[in-house]
């Protein structure tokens, strides 16, 4: 016990940038340690893609279905991976870690930055794996490096947007199980778009819904950029993503204040 002296408290605490960095490290370690979570984040989208190309692919569209479906699978994969953020944020809120962080001389909201940044990185890795597997099973992108850059930027932005939304869900849910459940709803968006089947094949009343929802312009942009099918509504996609990021950020600020009062 020689190390404990009653020295006067010195300058304790760190700024928001430093604490964000520390929390990003924490969340990345979580991702690496949580083997099952990592497996789900990568294996699930890969499985999904295999199911769509090999099982449904034959029935849906004989030729070129791989090229048609991969852009949608990439975005669906982002949703799967990001959904785990709701659970990890909620665990911090409901199991007491957030309370502890709030007694430290730091900006405690930066713990959320840690979760979000780590999720974006984790999902970009998963996206890379999905693209690799896609190429292995016959996906033949025709994109120029510039197209790739725009496509990946859009994917990263979409991951950020959906991660932020899931972080908000985690912040305000009453338990990790509830967070998981609420988050599930968001994962249905890709199925209600042109990701897996052309919108023209859907019932007429459903078409406007499928067309005017955030993931549809993204799917179409990716498809246009990567395999040159159709037009790329990049502007609309950007607007949706940025809109979601801004909305989610505002909701997170509100939700964080609300948890502080709990």
- The contact set with other proteins (CB under 8 A) reads 1, 3-9, 11-14, 18-19, 22, 25-26, 29-30, 33-34, 95-97, 99-106, 260
Measured from the CB atom, the residue of 19 and 216 that comes closer to other proteins is: 19
| Tokens found for residue 176 | 């990790």
Q: How far is the CB of 22 from other proteins (least distance, A)?
A: 5
Measured from the CB atom, the residue of 29 and 140 that comes closer to other proteins is: 29
Q: How far is the CB of 13 from other proteins (least distance, A)?
A: 5
Q: How far is the CB of 167 from other proteins (least distance, A)?
A: 18
Residues 6+ apart with CB under 8 A from 228: 142, 143
* 84 φ/ψ angles, rounded to the nearest 5 degrees: -65, -20
Residues 6+ apart with CB under 8 A from 128: none
Q: How far is the CB of 24 from other proteins (least distance, A)?
A: 12
Nearest CA to 190 among 210, 166, 208? 210
Measured from the CB atom, the residue of 10 and 185 that comes closer to other proteins is: 10
Measured from the CB atom, the residue of 33 and 231 that comes closer to other proteins is: 33
Q: How far is the CB of 89 from other proteins (least distance, A)?
A: 14
Specify whether the backbone of 140 is left (phi greater than 0), alpha (psi in -120 to 50) or beta: beta
Measured from the CB atom, the residue of 145 and 261 that comes closer to other proteins is: 261
3-state secondary structure of 106: coil
The whole-angstrom separation of Cα 93 and Cα 85 is 12
């Amino acid at each position: 016990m020689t190390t404990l002296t009653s020295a006067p408290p010195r300058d304790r605490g760190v700024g928001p940038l430093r604490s964000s960095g520390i929390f990003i490290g924490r969340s990345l370690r979580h991702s690496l340690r949580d083997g099952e979570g990592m497996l789900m984040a990568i294996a699930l989208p890969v499985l999904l893609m295999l199911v769509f190309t090999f099982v449904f692919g034959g029935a849906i569209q004989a030729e070129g279905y791989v090229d048609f479906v991969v852009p949608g699978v990439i975005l669906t994969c982002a949703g799967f991976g990001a959904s785990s953020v709701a659970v990890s944020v909620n665990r911090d809120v409901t199991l007491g870690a957030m309370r502890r962080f709030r007694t430290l001389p730091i900006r405690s909201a930066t713990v959320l930055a840690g979760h979000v940044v780590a999720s974006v990185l984790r999902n970009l890795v998963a996206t890379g794996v999905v693209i690799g597997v896609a190429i292995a099973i016959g996906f033949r992108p025709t994109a120029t490096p510039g197209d790739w850059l725009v496509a990946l930027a859009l994917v990263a932005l979409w991951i950020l947007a959906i991660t932020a939304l899931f972080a908000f869900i985690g912040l305000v849910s009453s338990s990790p199980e509830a967070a998981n459940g609420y988050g599930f709803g968001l994962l249905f968006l890709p199925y209600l778009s042109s990701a897996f089947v052309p919108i023209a094949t859907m019932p007429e009343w459903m078409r406007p819904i499928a067309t005017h929802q955030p993931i549809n312009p993204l799917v179409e942009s990716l498809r246009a950029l990567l395999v040159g099918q159709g037009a790329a509504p990049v502007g609309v996609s950007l607007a949706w993503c940025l809109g979601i990021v801004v909305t989610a950020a505002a909701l997170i600020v509100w939700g964080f204040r609300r948890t502080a009062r709990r």
